[in-house]
A and B are shown apart, each in its own frame.
Chain A
Amino acid sequence: MTAPAASAPVGVQTSRGAPPVWWVVMKQELLELWSGGRVLNFLVLFTLLMSLTAFLLATNTELHLLDPEQTVVVALTSALTFGLFIGLAIGAESISGERERATLEPLLLTPSGNRQLVLGKFLAAMSPWPAAMALTLPYMAALSQGRQVLGEAVLWGALSGTLLAGAFVALAMMVSIWSNSSRLSLFICLLVYAASLIPAQLPTEFLASPGGVLITLLDPVESSDQLLSKVLTSGEPLSQAWPYLASPAIALALALGALFGYAAPRLRLTARG
């Protein structure tokens, strides 16, 4: 929200019982993110990566290396991995970017509570995820070759993806609140993102061992991948696979609690203020 003018009416409208502050902040933020082209650029990159992935997966299906169910799951996990990145990058820049552009001060001077500012920005940073998920549908439809897995994949993908997107955006915003520069917040967030991808590098045998299961459950990204694989490919019922759904859900609850309960009220003009 770089236009300081937008922050002026915030307090006025609230006092008249107009839309709440978080709504105004979100609207302004959405406008800037989407009409400014930033989210669209990210989504173009997203579709490019998805196109390459889908082509590779379709080739492997033709070679009988993967069946359509597995292909849909891999495409879905790729969409989660790429999609998270968008929310993370936007969240990481949300507050530290305002600091760098010297537009945070006018926002903080409005009579709105900091929590409302953060909520508005959080919801706006979450907005690319549904778009990314919607863009994934044509790829999954083409890859599923009419199999029933598509409907379930959309449902589970939307659920686990939303949990992950929420957790990562909240984490990125917390980092942003405590960073004086976008460079620092982006660096930390991308480091966390890269770290969350490490467990996927471990061999399947290890991930099946008790130590591997523990590591998987501690990493919400790997947990979601396992959930999708177990439910959609192996046909495991949710009563067995639920710990892998609980992991991103707990991550989201913790991240939201930390963001709105601890970090947002401490939002200051400088990160060390």
Chain B
Amino acid sequence: MSATHDLSSLAMGRQSRAAPVWWLVFRREFVDLWTGGRVLMLLILFTAIMSVTSVLRELESQLNLIPPVEMVFLTILSSISFGLFVGLVIAADSFSGERERATLEPLLLTPARPRQIVVGKFLAALSPWPVTLLLSVPYVWVLGQGDDSIGNGLMLGALLGGLLAIAFTGLGMAVSIWSTSNRVSLFTSLLIYLVFLIPTQFPGSAQKGDLGYLVQQLNPLQASSEFLEKVLVNNRTVSEKAPYLMAAIYAAVGVLVLLFLVAAPRLRLDGEAPRLTSPGWGRSRSARVLAAPVLILLLASPQAGLATAPAMGSDSLQVSTDLAYKTVNAGDTLHFSTVVTNTGTRPTPALSVAMNIVKTGQGDPVDPEDWSPERTQQLAALAPGASAKQSWTVDAVLEGDYMVYLTAIPKPSGTDATSKPVSSPGIHLTVKAFTESNPGGVLPVAIAMPLGLGLIALVPRWRRRRRVDEPAVEP
């Protein structure tokens, strides 16, 4: 808001009970952003990125036959990720830019309260978000091939994108309030954006386990992606995946509180950063949330029991296990054996024995690949009365209640025949939470490195302060 003639109108507006100050600030800022061409430039960049990623997705779809619903999900996710960027960049410039252009002082000298100025600027910085959503509709429509999920997807995208836009725009603005230059605010805001984006670079297997899922839930970008995918693609209910939605809600609410209750009242001409000892600062809630599972040690002693129940009956095959139930900690490895016996009078065909793991309650389905290195074993034909023993290994990954069972599948005699699989009794597996506070002995390194370097980084500051405090020497 660089035009100073508006400043008097702000004051006038307040006194004559005309439009509220935040509205005047918003209107002026909105006009500056949209007619100045800055938002339009960012939107052109947005459409260019969307076009490139859409072409890539379409190529990918043709190669791998990605279902339309997944394309809808991926396109909406891209539009949210890139759309946030627009709001973040505008917000990061909002106050530090005024400072650099020396237009903040007149604004602060008006009788308008800082919070009203912040509200006006915040709403103006949010204004590109609905437009980016609208611009993404044609991409979603084309890539989704008119799929039924498009309506739901756009609705969920609007909800999640709206929450994230509030969070990231507010964050950019808070950073801008405390930055003396655009360079600092832009850099800090984009750094935060990248820090949230970088975990998505990790391979899938690095994002699993209780801690991996916790990190996903704490990162609003990852949590929103997970929520959107599960609800839209995997037909999960909103209530089932609510914890992932809560991350975006908490982020939006938390940032609004930070912006309007902490940052806005402290809006100053010089953009001084808040002191770490200020109330409400210095104790990061998310840090405590992260630390909690590390500090809580839940000791659970494994309990094992032997299987006594015979295999479910079938004509000629029986599968038995040497384990009926066991309680383990996440991270433990479980070994057990099965015996496949031909109880019939004729030889069996060749057999496949496959292991499956099912979660007995609600929650994420088990990906057996994560739980066991070998899930299928092949057996040669069994003579009448003959048996074959197999050994199995299961790595307990996630806390919960599971049923492990094995199925023996006789090979069908031809393409026009089938066979009757036979299952073993279930092995009831109870997995307790991961309790290792120093996994792989990495904790000392993880603590010592930033701490040690942080102390070294204090030396230049200490030297500078000492130099300032030293009395000037007369020549």
Contact with B along A194-219 (1 / 0, CB 8 A): 11011011110110010110010000
Contacts of B454 in A (CB 8 A): 44
| A206–B395 CA distance with the chains assembled, in angstroms | 29
Contacts of A61 in B (CB 8 A): 439-440
| A45–B195 CA distance with the chains assembled, in angstroms | 11
A193 within 8 A of B: yes
| A151–B85 CA distance with the chains assembled, in angstroms | 39
Contact with A along B181-222 (1 / 0, CB 8 A): 111001100110011011011110110110110010000000
| A52, A183, A212: most-surrounded residue (chain B CB, <10 A) | A183
Q: Output the nearest chain A residue to B183 by Cβ-Cβ distance.
A: A182
B434 within 8 A of A: yes
| A129–B63 CA distance with the chains assembled, in angstroms | 38
Contacts of B191 in A (CB 8 A): 45, 85
Interface size class of B (residues with CB under 8 A): 35 or more
Contacts of A77 in B (CB 8 A): 201
User: Which one, A64-72, A160-168, A256-264, is touching chain B?
Assistant: A64-72
| A57–B59 CA distance with the chains assembled, in angstroms | 32
B365 within 8 A of A: no
Task: From the candidates A64, A78, A197, name the one contacting B397 in the complex (CB within 8 A).
Answer: A64
Contacts of B53 in A (CB 8 A): 198
Q: Output the nearest chain A residue to B440 by Cβ-Cβ distance.
A: A58
Assess whether A56 is in contact with B457, with CB atoms less than 8 Å apart.
Answer: no
Contact with A along B431-443 (1 / 0, CB 8 A): 0001010011111
Contacts of B203 in A (CB 8 A): 66, 70, 74
A252 within 8 A of B: no
Assess whether A36 is in contact with B209, with CB atoms less than 8 Å apart.
Answer: no
A190 within 8 A of B: yes
Task: From the candidates A50, A78, A93, A206, name the one contacting B449 in the complex (CB within 8 A).
Answer: A50
| A242–B63 CA distance with the chains assembled, in angstroms | 25
| A74–B453 CA distance with the chains assembled, in angstroms | 23
Assess whether A186 is in contact with B186, with CB atoms less than 8 Å apart.
Answer: yes
Assess whether A205 is in contact with B64, with CB atoms less than 8 Å apart.
Answer: yes
Assess whether A89 is in contact with B187, with CB atoms less than 8 Å apart.
Answer: yes
Contacts of A211 in B (CB 8 A): 56, 59-60, 63
Assess whether A65 is in contact with B206, with CB atoms less than 8 Å apart.
Answer: yes
- Shortest A23–chain B CB gap in Å is 23
- Shortest A204–chain B CB gap in Å is 9
Q: Output the nearest chain A residue to B454 by Cβ-Cβ distance.
A: A44
Assess whether B442 is in contact with A142, with CB atoms less than 8 Å apart.
Answer: yes
Contact with B along A212-242 (1 / 0, CB 8 A): 1001000000000000000000000000000
B364 within 8 A of A: no
Assess whether A47 is in contact with B449, with CB atoms less than 8 Å apart.
Answer: yes
B461 within 8 A of A: yes
| A41–B453 CA distance with the chains assembled, in angstroms | 9
Task: From the candidates A51, A60, A186, name the one contacting B205 in the complex (CB within 8 A).
Answer: A60
B471 within 8 A of A: no
Assess whether A200 is in contact with B63, with CB atoms less than 8 Å apart.
Answer: no
Task: From the candidates A35, A82, A135, name the one contacting B460 in the complex (CB within 8 A).
Answer: A35
B447 within 8 A of A: yes
Assess whether B449 is in contact with A51, with CB atoms less than 8 Å apart.
Answer: yes
Task: From the candidates A56, A70, A82, name the one contacting B211 in the complex (CB within 8 A).
Answer: A56
A175 within 8 A of B: no
Assess whether A56 is in contact with B434, with CB atoms less than 8 Å apart.
Answer: no
Q: Output the nearest chain A residue to B93 by Cβ-Cβ distance.
A: A183
| A89–B187 CA distance with the chains assembled, in angstroms | 8
Assess whether B370 is in contact with A65, with CB atoms less than 8 Å apart.
Answer: yes
Q: With A145-B440, A183-B186 as given contacts, are A63 and B59 in contact (CB-CB < 8 Å)?
A: no
B89 within 8 A of A: yes
Assess whether A48 is in contact with B439, with CB atoms less than 8 Å apart.
Answer: no
B333 within 8 A of A: yes
Assess whether A138 is in contact with B209, with CB atoms less than 8 Å apart.
Answer: no
Assess whether A43 is in contact with B453, with CB atoms less than 8 Å apart.
Answer: yes
A37 within 8 A of B: yes
- Shortest A193–chain B CB gap in Å is 7
B175 within 8 A of A: no
Assess whether A63 is in contact with B434, with CB atoms less than 8 Å apart.
Answer: yes
Assess whether B460 is in contact with A40, with CB atoms less than 8 Å apart.
Answer: yes
A54 within 8 A of B: yes
- Shortest A72–chain B CB gap in Å is 11
Contacts of B205 in A (CB 8 A): 60, 65-66, 70
| A51–B182 CA distance with the chains assembled, in angstroms | 29
Assess whether A194 is in contact with B397, with CB atoms less than 8 Å apart.
Answer: no
| A24–B298 CA distance with the chains assembled, in angstroms | 59
| A58–B93 CA distance with the chains assembled, in angstroms | 39
Q: With A47-B450, A51-B449, A64-B333 as given contacts, are A139 and B442 in contact (CB-CB < 8 Å)?
A: yes
B276 within 8 A of A: no
Assess whether A37 is in contact with B457, with CB atoms less than 8 Å apart.
Answer: yes
Assess whether A138 is in contact with B449, with CB atoms less than 8 Å apart.
Answer: yes
Contacts of A72-90 to chain B: CB distance below 8 A: 74, 77-78, 81-82, 85, 89
A-B contact pairs, 13 of them (CB 8 A): A35-B460, A43-B457, A44-B457, A62-B434, A64-B395, A65-B397, A85-B191, A135-B449, A145-B440, A181-B183, A183-B93, A203-B60, A212-B60
Sample of 4 more A-B contacts, CB < 8 Å, known A51-B450, A55-B446, A183-B93: A49-B195, A65-B212, A200-B200, A201-B200
Give the interface of A toward B (CB within 8 A): 35-37, 40-41, 43-45, 47-66, 70, 74, 77-78, 81-82, 85, 89, 93, 97, 100, 135, 138-139, 141-143, 145, 181-183, 186-187, 190-191, 193-195, 197-198, 200-203, 205-206, 209, 211-212, 215
Give the interface of B toward A (CB within 8 A): 45, 49, 53, 56, 59-60, 63-64, 85, 89, 93, 181-183, 186-187, 190-191, 194-195, 197-198, 200-203, 205-206, 208-209, 211-212, 215, 294, 330-331, 333, 370, 395-397, 434, 436, 439-443, 445-447, 449-450, 453-454, 456-457, 460-461, 463
List the 8 closest A-B pairs by CB distance, nearest first: A64-B395, A37-B460, A58-B440, A51-B446, A40-B457, A58-B439, A58-B442, A47-B450
